[in-house]
Amino acid sequence: MVMNDFKWPDRNTAVLVFHGVGSQYPLATIDQFARTLVDVLGEKYPGEIKLQHCIARKSDKKGNAWNDNFIRITKQDGRSPIDIYEYYWANLTENVMNLNDLQKWVWQVVSGAERFYDRTREIGELYGDKSKFFTKDGRFRKGVYRSFLLGAVGVVPVYSAFWIWLSSFISRIIPFAGGLVQWIVDLVNKNASDSLTNVIGDLAVYNSIDPKSSFFKIRSKILSGAVDAVKYLIDLPGDEITLDQGDIWSPNYGRVIIAGHSLGSQIAFDAVNRLTQLISLREIDGVGAEGDYTDHRGISCQVKSGESNLSNIHDQLCGLVTFGSPLDKIAFFLREQAPDEQYLRGQMLENNHSFKQKKWFNGSEVKYVLAPPFNRVFDDIKWYNFYDTGDPISGYLDYYKNVVNKECSYKKKGHSFTHSDYWADREMFRQIVDDFIVPKEPLRHEKITVPSR
């Protein structure tokens, strides 16, 4: 595919990338994303692309300061850089959950999924869930659903039993090796156990909804850091900047795109949702409750960005890209729910999800309706979700509105697990460049039917 003819971005652009589950390392995410992006830009401008390793000096409210690495991409003329940042969170979940913790979490999920069985079925049928739990005509396959839950309950006991059997079996057929065999089996078991708990454990830790749990504290820290990472990129001048009505000023970045892989897509999504709440509560300097830019007196003003004047925060933070995303599966199994009689709590849980989420709580027959406290500032920004049928973690997103789903259709030889293939997918990156990074106008959701590739 030949890229659309386009000019270089007319404003400073930042892309913040969130990594997914597993044993991740600092700077690996920024490397994966930037490499393919640079290759794609190089197709359009061969020999003109320049790269620079840059350092951003950051600090928190407690006065702690640190350096954050990012990659700057420019043409030779140096105008309007594209800066690539990463949000690294794997260090917060590494080795904090063991197999017993994991089994307890799985059991809680399964119990909740069974307890709210009817509601799960109803929401899937309502929004045309395209997962294997529903037929093509939208009917719920309860046998598949309950078989999956049964398998989930047994995942850890079966896993543990396998290693016990393997150790016993090898010891019987190689009795003279005795202690050495046991040591090898234990070592392999530990490595495999660590891999299992690090991958599934990341999902479990971040989706712990019990505020009394130590895992919930880790989740809160991950999300808080994600919000701070986004706020840094959209940071506006503070009260020391005096503006007269109609004056304009320039932020560091006139366009901010957020990209998330795997569980990172949930963290990225939650960060935008939390930012929506902060804006509605007037806790973002220079931004009104409906996202409009204001001066220190609360009077509307504009932002100068390249050749454009922006009037609302959704003109600046204007794009979300997810790939390998489990967001629908999280909505289906892991969302926090309330019994029917707790209809006020159910509505409050619903209202707290104020970014692109469809209605998950059936409140059509509630006695009293709670007006939501948050303005859905970012609901119309552009969102592309890339998924592949060979990737069991990702999928078509049905439970969110104003999202364009794009099937990647990777062709594999020998194996079909494609969860990591997105990082090298030039076609996906071409679409990110064409539809997110270079357009002159603010990005908005387009109600279009997108064919699979």
pTM given for the model:
0.85
Domains of the chain, CATH where assigned: 13-93+214-437 (3.40.50), 99-206 (no CATH)
Between CA 85 and CA 259 the distance in angstroms is 10
- pLDDT tens per residue across all 453 residues of the chain: 444 455 789 889 999 999 998 778 999 999 999 999 999 999 988 999 999 999 988 877 777 788 889 999 999 877 889 999 999 999 998 877 777 787 787 778 878 778 877 888 888 888 888 888 888 888 888 787 777 666 655 565 555 555 444 455 445 555 544 454 444 445 444 444 445 555 677 888 888 888 888 889 999 999 999 999 999 999 865 433 444 444 445 578 999 999 999 999 999 999 999 999 999 999 998 899 999 998 777 888 888 777 778 889 999 999 999 999 999 988 888 788 888 888 898 889 989 998 999 888 766 677 888 899 999 999 999 999 999 988 888 999 999 999 999 999 887 655 567 889 999 999 999 999 999 999 988 789 876 554 444
DSSP alpha helices (H): ranges in 292-375? 327-333, 343-351
Structure tokens at 287: 């931004």
> 111 — alpha (psi -120 to 50), left (phi > 0) or beta?
alpha
> 382 — alpha (psi -120 to 50), left (phi > 0) or beta?
beta
Structure tokens at 234: 């959209």
Between CA 262 and CA 285 the distance in angstroms is 31
Kindly report each contact of residues 66-73 with a partner whose C-beta sits within 8 Å and lies 24 or more positions away, as own/partner: 69/27, 69/30, 70/30, 71/30, 71/34, 73/34, 73/37, 73/38, 73/41, 73/49
3-state secondary structure of 347: helix
Contact 88, 29 (CB under 8 A): yes
